[in-house]
Amino acid sequence: MTVSDPANPVTTCYRHQGRESLIRCTRCDRFICTDCMRSAAVGFQCPECVRSGNRDVREARTVFGAQAAAGGAVPVVTIGLIVLNFAVYAAELMRHSVVKQLSLLPDALDGPGEGLYEPMASPPPGYHPIGIAHGEWYRLFTSAFVHALPTDPPFGPAHILFNMLTLWMFGVVLERHLGRVRFLAAYLLSALGGAVLCYFLVTPYTQTIGASGAIFGLIGLYFVLSRKLHFDPLGAQRQLIFAVVWLVAASRVTSWQGHLGGLVTGVAAGLVIAYAPRARQGAVQLAGLAAILALLIGATAVRTATLHGDDTADPQGRDAKGGTHGRTVVVAGDRPAEGVAGRASEH
């Protein structure tokens, strides 16, 4: 039988009482066996001290508040948006009526055939009002996922291809620095900003489609963030100049209203995200983006009230020139006149 020496007592691991140990945790000074030893900057620590230390370590974040650990992750939101755009496009190819159902349409009458008609206070039988002014607010967002069909001039399938290429180029960089939630919020706000300006400025019974408003928003957002970071792998100034030139040069065949609205909204969102004080960064960013959203919702409500007023101003359905409302507007024939949002940029 082994008799312990009172002068030199046997020390055991505090977690495994039957295991002799001569090593102490450098943090709590308790004895630990080889199974409980965790390498530390100096010596070894026990599992409990390691867990406690990890809780005390502040999570690394980017300048804009996103988790730094997510920086090298797969750009899930960017990929998801691209997949969703192509999924809607596939639905368009199978059913051309999807364009009419999801496009940005302020105020019109739906009647026989595929035509849209000018709104009037008392539509005849077989005609019913459709559009944002009649509660279809979802069109403000869904229109950003609809693109020109292959038979639609002047761009056809190039419309979605250039938009998605630009979304990938800017989305990968922005999502890495902003994080998924901020990036998605900025993208959707830009899409909404472009849609709201179209809602104000385009002829009520015409359609507008395309992701270009959101894409222009990403260009404006990237320009602001690159100035803050002093890091510009995509050439922000060159991209912004090209976007503005395209906005003006293609204004006769694209929706310049959607492009301009998206660009301005993207810049505004970028200023909110980039220059929020670090002390309360998340709260200030949330409040700023919410304020932009509230402004856009308010503007939409004002425009809706105006359109309702226009519909009821002349119960006979005559316009300012004395013409009768209700004449057909060909939808499937002349796509440029419908306000198709064109390419954001060519890269």
DSSP state for residue 70 in the 8-state scheme: G
Residue 200 sits in the same domain as residue 117: yes
User: Is 259 annotated in the active site?
Assistant: yes
Please indicate, yes or no, if residue 184 is contained in any of the structural domains.
yes
Q: What is the pTM of this model?
A: 0.76
Give the ranges where the chain is alpha helix by DSSP (H).
47-56, 76-94, 97-102, 139-142, 158-178, 180-201, 212-229, 236-249, 256-274, 281-313
Greater confidence (94 vs 60) lies with 94
Torsional sign, CA 127, 129, 131, 136: negative
Question: Phi-psi bin for 69: left (phi > 0), alpha (psi -120 to 50), beta?
Answer: alpha
The larger pLDDT score, comparing residue 20 to residue 166, is at: 166
Read off the amino acid at residue 18. G
Q: What is the CATH number of the domain that holds 187?
A: 1.20.1540.10
- Confirm whether 146 is domain-assigned: yes
pLDDT in tens, 196-207: 999 999 999 899
Q: Which range marks the domain in which residue 293 is found?
A: 77-338
Give the model's confidence band at 107: pLDDT under 50 very low, under 70 low, under 90 confident, else very high.
very high
Same domain, 45 and 88: no
| DSSP at 279 | G
101 and 26, same structural domain?
no
pLDDT score recorded for residue 331? 37
Token pair, residue 142, equals 């869904």
Type of residue found at 69: A
Average pLDDT over residues 118-144: 90
Asked if residue 54 is part of any domain, the answer here is: no
Q: Domain total for the chain?
A: 2
Stretch 37-66: mean pLDDT: 76
Q: How confident is the model at residue 55 (pLDDT cuts 50, 70, 90)?
A: low
Mean pLDDT of 33-62: 77
Specify whether 212 is catalytic. Answer: yes
One domain, residues 81 and 44:
no
Query: Active-site residue among 134, 259, 325, 345?
Result: 259
Q: Which of 341, 145, 181 is nearest to 261 (CA)?
A: 341
Same domain, 269 and 315: yes
% of the chain residues with pLDDT over 90: 54
Span 291-312, pLDDT tens digits: 999 999 999 999 999 988 766 6
Residue 39 maps to a domain: yes
Q: What is the mean pLDDT of the chain?
A: 83
Question: Are 177 and 259 part of one and the same domain?
Answer: yes
What percent of the chain shows pLDDT beyond 70? 82
Question: Do residue 145 and residue 26 come from a single domain?
Answer: no
Residues 155 and 239 in one domain: yes
Angstrom distance (rounded) from CA 298 to CA 304: 10
Residue 64 lies in a domain: no
In this structure, which amino acid lies at residue 30? Answer: R
| Closest by Cα among 97, 268, 80 to 184 | 80
45-49's contacts with Cβ under 8 Å and 24+ in sequence apart are: 46/14, 46/15, 47/15, 49/25
124 is a domain residue: yes
What is the model's pLDDT at position 313?
Answer: 56
The pLDDT confidence band at residue 153, using thresholds 50, 70 and 90, is confident
Taking residues 219-236, what's their average pLDDT?
92
226 contacts: CB under 8 Å, gap ≥ 6: 232, 234, 236
Q: Say if 16 falls within a structural domain.
A: yes
CA 129 – CA 176 distance, rounded (Å): 43
State whether 110 and 234 are in the same domain.
Answer: yes
Asked if 93 and 1 sit in the same domain, the reply is no
Cis bond before residue 154 (omega within 30° of 0): yes
The residues, any chain, with a CB within 8 Å of residue 94's CB and separated by 6 or more, are none
Statement to judge: residues 43 and 118 lie in one domain? no
Residue carrying the six token digits 């963030």: 225
Catalytic residue chosen out of the listed positions 212, 226, 255, 345: 212
- Please report whether residue 272 resides in a domain: yes
Residue pair 175/193 in contact (Cβ under 8 Å)? The answer is: no
